[in-house]
Amino acid sequence: MSNVRPTRPADVSQRTWLLVHPKGIVVRREGDAVAFPTDEDVAQLAIDVSGAHHLGRLEGSEVDAFAVACNADVELPAPLVVSNLRELFIPLGDAQFWLAGRAAQVVDWASTHRFCGRCATATERVENERCLRCPACGLLSYPRISPAIIVLVRRDDRVLLARNARSTYGFYSVLAGFSEIGESLEETIVREVREEVGVEVTNARYFGSQPWPFPHSLMIGFTADWRSGEIRVDGEEIAHADWFPADALPPIPPRLSIARSLIDAWVADIHATRAAAEVGK
């Protein structure tokens, strides 16, 4: 996805539409096939596309993607349906899923910054930049992105996994937390792990990152090592946590998340270390 600077809906040959509904994303669902609505689909819906946000051109195609909000009461003729964003990861595949995530974040930003946060004047779109400007006091509102660390903590050949008290999925995962004002990411890691499970960590190393459009997080992944302390969960956010060996893991998150990538990479590391030790015998 070339992240071209957004322009107004250009008179492009082909457009694909990301219709962001309060309950998810509108897609064409025909059997197992899922696709984004076409110009023809959108033309038959009574929605105003004048404020559409250009998301960029789909890799290697002449198709330009546009995001626009649609109301909860929009009538959707078959095969158009509303799908929860997370449920679209498998049917859409990576590139299209993250495009839908980008659409959800752009529409969330535009719908929550219609008025200036300083003087309540209606904001206006800035040409050629994803920004809303207040004509009265000049305040600029760019899309909100909330940095959140996510960290896999190791202790010898075990990993710290926790079950979130609020999660309905029931799986165990690595720890995560939003950065607070004035913190470095390394400080967030130490604070969040101390707050959530009561142990001290060291040796934080960058792993990778991932946009997380629920609604506007940016996940920054790290590994770290246990330094001291025994697990004592906070009981509010974390219901249970423990140290798990690679061959006896509890239920873990699906492939969509960087949490799963962190865990998979650690398991692969453990197996490679064991294999090397076998060879060395």
Nearer Cβ to ligand NAI (125/240): 240
For residue 250, the number of C-alpha atoms closer than 13 Å in the C-beta half-sphere is: 17
User: Would you say 23 and 70 are in contact if contact means Cβ atoms under 8 Å apart?
Assistant: no
Residue from 19, 80, 134, 175 in contact with Zn ion (CB under 5 A)? 134
Is 250 annotated as a binding-site member?
A: no
Please list every residue from 143 through 182 that binds Mg ion, using CB under 5 A: 176-177
Start-to-end Cα distance in the chain: 48
Please say which residue, 132 or 161, places its beta carbon nearer to Zn ion.
132
Minimum CB distance to ligand NAI smaller for 142 or for 214: 214
**Is residue 142 at the binding interface for ligand NAI, with CB under 6 A as the rule?**
no
**Contacting residue, 10, 95, 136, 268, with Zn ion by CB under 5 A:** 136
When the beta carbons of 68 and 152 are compared against ligand NAI, the nearer one is 152
Closest to ligand NAI by CB, 212 or 266: 212
70: helix, coil or strand?
coil
Write down the least CB distance from residue 253 to ligand NAI, Å: 6
Confirm or reject binding of residue 212 to ligand NAI (CB under 6 A). yes
- 134 annotated among ligand-binding-site residues: yes
Q: Return residues touching Mg ion (CB under 5 A).
A: 176-177
Task: Give the interface with Zn ion as residue ranges (CB under 5 A).
Answer: 116, 118-119, 121, 134, 136-137, 139
Which stretches of the chain bind ligand NAI, using CB under 6 A? Answer: 146, 148, 150, 173, 176-178, 192, 210, 212, 214, 217, 219, 237, 257-259
